């Protein structure tokens, strides 16, 4: 039995570099280098906290600034981060593998880095429960001259907000 787990982690900068419909491309890694996920291997006995410490050091941020979600395959075959945050920092990778293996052959994660001054105001830091009305939305720009679809940013919006409310995020 394999004691290691391969983990592919996407962060915001890779989303911005990805050209296409999804948040990123986990399978065809021949494209733009900046759009490739971080490929990490962890012993299954290691915890989410170990992942946070490693990435926080590499990105020069505090582990408290990191939020993690597993990717899921939606009914329309798009790949998006799950609505639920992974909040159990003591969860080991063997348990995480069981959560991820349902959708993909390896563990695919979205890691969000919150700005230092944002933890008190960020919607998911204030209320990281499933009852939180805020949802994560990825905004893309279609360039008809190329033609290609580019990542712009990700934002949190109230799930009851109308689409017209998203226009302000495109400034």
Domains and CATH numbers, the chain: 4-128 (3.10.20.90)
Helix H or strand E segment including 79:
strand 79-81
The pTM score is 0.83
How many other CB atoms are there within 10 angstroms of residue 111's CB atom? 21
The share of the chain scoring above pLDDT 70, in percent, equals: 84
What is the residue-averaged pLDDT of the chain? 83
Find which of 5-14, 98-107, 156-165 is predicted with most confidence, using mean pLDDT.
5-14
Q: Is 68 helix (H, G, I), strand (E, B) or coil?
A: strand
Which pLDDT score, from 0 to 100, does residue 53 have?
93
Q: Is residue 69 a contact partner of residue 86, using CB atoms and an 8 Å limit?
A: yes
119: left (phi over 0), alpha (psi -120 to 50) or beta: alpha
How do residues 21-75 score in pLDDT, each as one tens digit? 888 887 766 677 888 888 889 899 999 999 999 888 988 988 888 888 898 888 8
Which pLDDT score, from 0 to 100, does residue 43 have?
93
Which residue(s) pair with 141 in the sheet? 150
With a cut of 90, say whether residue 154 has pLDDT above it: no
């Amino acid at each position: 039995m394999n004691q290691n787990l391969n983990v592919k982690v996407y962060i915001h900068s890779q989303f911005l570099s990805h050209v296409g419909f999804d948040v990123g491309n986990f399978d065809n890694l021949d494209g733009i280098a900046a759009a490739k996920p971080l490929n990490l291997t962890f012993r299954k006995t290691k915890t989410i906290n170990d992942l946070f410490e490693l990435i926080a050091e590499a990105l020069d941020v505090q582990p408290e600034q990191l939020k993690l979600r597993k990717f899921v395959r939606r009914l329309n075959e798009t790949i998006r981060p799950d609505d639920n945050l992974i909040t159990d920092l003591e969860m080991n990778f063997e348990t995480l593998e069981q959560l991820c293996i349902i959708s993909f052959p390896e563990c695919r994660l979205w890691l969000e880095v919150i700005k230092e001054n944002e933890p008190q105001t960020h919607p998911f830091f204030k209320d990281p429960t499933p009852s939180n009305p805020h949802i994560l939305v990825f905004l893309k720009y279609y360039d008809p001259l190329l033609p290609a679809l580019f990542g712009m940013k990700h934002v949190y919006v109230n799930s009851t907000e109308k689409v017209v409310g998203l226009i302000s995020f495109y400034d």
